[in-house]
Structure 1
Amino acid sequence: MPRIGLCQIGSGDDPGANLKLVRTGVEAAKAENAQVVVFPEATMARFGRPLGPIAEPLDGPWATAVAELAAEHDVVVVAGMFTPAEDGRVRNTVLVTGGGHHLGYHKIHLYDAFGFAESDTVAPGGKPVTFDVDGTVLGVATCYDIRFPELFRALADDGADIVVVPTSWGAGEGKRDQWEVLVRARALDSGCWVLGCGQADPAASGLDVNPKAPTGIGYSTVSDGFGRVHTQLGAVPETVVVDLDPAVAAKARTATGALANRRL
């Protein structure tokens, strides 16, 4: 039964300063015996600043520092960063490191919505990613991916009982409602536990808000495969550790038939 920490942080512009937030979050989660520690999308640096100058490969200094931190505390760390793409753009990457893993999931569905065009600067990925922790398979998605049930079903088909979703959700009218509905809906679609770990709301902490970039609203949410909210945070930075039973995913899939009864 994996014990997973969700670290709802507020990233700034400086990757080095954000590494300190990662350390603090890992230490807090490990103090509660977490095996996996999840951070938001754009943990490396928040949206709204140029991403090209800070993008690094998975063997670069930033990801290596996170890997060393994961090894030091014997955990798996999941955190959003940016890696270079072949066409001059960057990739919106989720780093998974520790426990014998060091890999990246490149965000498949780009946030070309609500007046923001992520694809102007970010190249899409194309491959779902899963990883194993003590016999439990976890899948990875990122933020806008949560609007696409096919990805979550594909992760369940690949054996995932838990899907972690690092996120930097855009603020706006109705956006919190959409976030909560989508986390629960994707859990129902796939029968998986879905853990949405978001950037904290800058406004709730008295920080400047970039109105043209999705910089977070908080409200990290955990839903089981029956669509029931297990845990939810507020708007400000906070860390929570949850115990998740993979057997609940199997029960949900059996009860709902959401995967077995597909016809398309």
Structure 2
Amino acid sequence: MALCQIPVGDDPEENLQEVRKALGRAEGADLAVFPEAVQVRFGNTLADVAEPLDGPFVGELRRLAREHGTALVSGVFEPAGDGRVYNTAVAIDAAGGLAGTYRKIHLFDAFGDHESERVAPGDRPVVVELAGTRIGLVTCYDVRFPELARALVDQGAEVLVVIAAWAQGVFKEEHWTTLVRARAIENTTWVVAVDKAPDRTPPPKGNPGGVGRSMLVDPMGTVLADLGPFPSVQVTELDPEVTGRVRRFLPSLAHRRPDVL
């Protein structure tokens, strides 16, 4: 598992170059996870760069996955048809095939931002088969909604992958780290959470994004990797057998009360 906490700027080609470099450093990983909005950072006119999934940006991601033999998850923008875009997570297998896509359901109309003015919402949770694992896809603000993570686990997700361009601000880093661990603990599942490296310059419009702190969290809530505040690529191991061991002595999912809740 490669956590690819890359910087994301205003030029899609430069952002692809960061993806290329990260995959080079992740050589040998089964899966590389990149942030939300890798195509261009928020603060730009998203509709100007959005492409259909058969366009050149996703096409290059697929080529890179095939070249390196590494499956990947990355955030892109696709046209929504109403002047807005979809904030889409693409899951690409190691042969370069498009294994699945997820359009962000919960839009960040909070802390003075209005993502829904630029982005149209998705309408369904998505679990994909990738790198031999059933992965539930979560994008940024989605992580504040525990019902989405639980729905993905109920659909058979063995790992939750959270991609983000987490907005900077007072206490925001604490929210990020707390929420990521909470989703692991309450679902007794692995969580791979990758945020972009923090912006060091302001975007054309809006506030800087990214707090870093990409993490690998096990089903007990133990943080096995934390990338801190700087650009970084870290390859680490995820043992799926840990999930079964944890659920045997902490069977909280089995103890749910659907008859009352």
Matched, 1:147 2:157: no
* Structure 1 contact 153–259 (Cα < 8 Å) conserved: no
Q: How do 1:200-239 and structure 2 match up within 5 A?
A: 200-203=197-200, 207-208=201-202, 212-213=206-207, 215-239=209-233
Question: Equivalent of 2:49, from 54, 62, 69?
Answer: 54
Q: For the structure 1 residues 211 and 150, does the alpha-carbon distance in structure 2 shift closer, same or farther, using more than 3 Å as the test?
A: same
Instruction: Give the drift of 1:211.
Output: 8.0
Question: Equivalent of 2:240, from 243, 246, 257?
Answer: 246
* Structure 1 contact 58–104 (Cα < 8 Å) conserved: no
Instruction: Give the drift of 1:163.
Output: 1.1
* Structure 1 contact 169–214 (Cα < 8 Å) conserved: no
* Structure 2 contact 2–32 (Cα < 8 Å) conserved: yes
Matched, 1:262 2:259: no
> Secondary structure at the residue paired with 1:243?
coil
Instruction: Give the drift of 1:133.
Output: 3.4
Q: For the structure 1 residues 167 and 237, does the alpha-carbon distance in structure 2 shift closer, same or farther, using more than 3 Å as the test?
A: same
Question: Equivalent of 1:123, from 116, 120, 139?
Answer: 120
| Residue equivalent to 2:18 | 21
TM-score (norm: length of structure 1): 0.92
Instruction: Give the drift of 1:210.
Output: 6.7
Q: For the structure 1 residues 202 and 83, does the alpha-carbon distance in structure 2 shift closer, same or farther, using more than 3 Å as the test?
A: same
Q: For the structure 1 residues 185 and 211, does the alpha-carbon distance in structure 2 shift closer, same or farther, using more than 3 Å as the test?
A: farther
Instruction: Give the drift of 1:214.
Output: 5.4
Matched, 1:8 2:5: yes
Question: Counterparts of 1:119 and 1:208 in 2: how far apart (Å)?
Answer: 21
Q: For the structure 1 residues 183 and 211, does the alpha-carbon distance in structure 2 shift closer, same or farther, using more than 3 Å as the test?
A: farther
Q: Structure 1, unaligned stretches of length 5 or more? A: none
AA aligned to 2:134 is V
TM-score (norm: length of structure 2): 0.93
Question: Counterparts of 2:91 and 2:131 in 1: how far apart (Å)?
Answer: 15
Instruction: Give the drift of 1:138.
Output: 1.4
Greater mean alpha carbon deviation, residues 123-132 or residues 52-61? 123-132
| Residue equivalent to 2:133 | 136
Question: Counterparts of 2:30 and 2:203 in 1: how far apart (Å)?
Answer: 33
Question: Counterparts of 1:128 and 1:250 in 2: how far apart (Å)?
Answer: 24
Instruction: Give the drift of 1:209.
Output: 5.8
AA aligned to 2:159 is I
| Residue equivalent to 2:40 | 45
| Residue equivalent to 2:166 | 169
Question: Counterparts of 2:173 and 2:135 in 1: how far apart (Å)?
Answer: 25
Question: Counterparts of 1:211 and 1:258 in 2: how far apart (Å)?
Answer: 44
Q: For the structure 1 residues 14 and 193, does the alpha-carbon distance in structure 2 shift closer, same or farther, using more than 3 Å as the test?
A: same
Matched, 1:189 2:183: no
Count of residues paired in the alignment: 256
> Secondary structure at the residue paired with 1:112?
coil
Q: How do 1:96-111 and structure 2 match up within 5 A?
A: 96-99=91-94, 101-102=97-98, 103-111=100-108
CA RMSD of aligned residues (A): 1.6
Q: For the structure 1 residues 123 and 253, does the alpha-carbon distance in structure 2 shift closer, same or farther, using more than 3 Å as the test?
A: farther
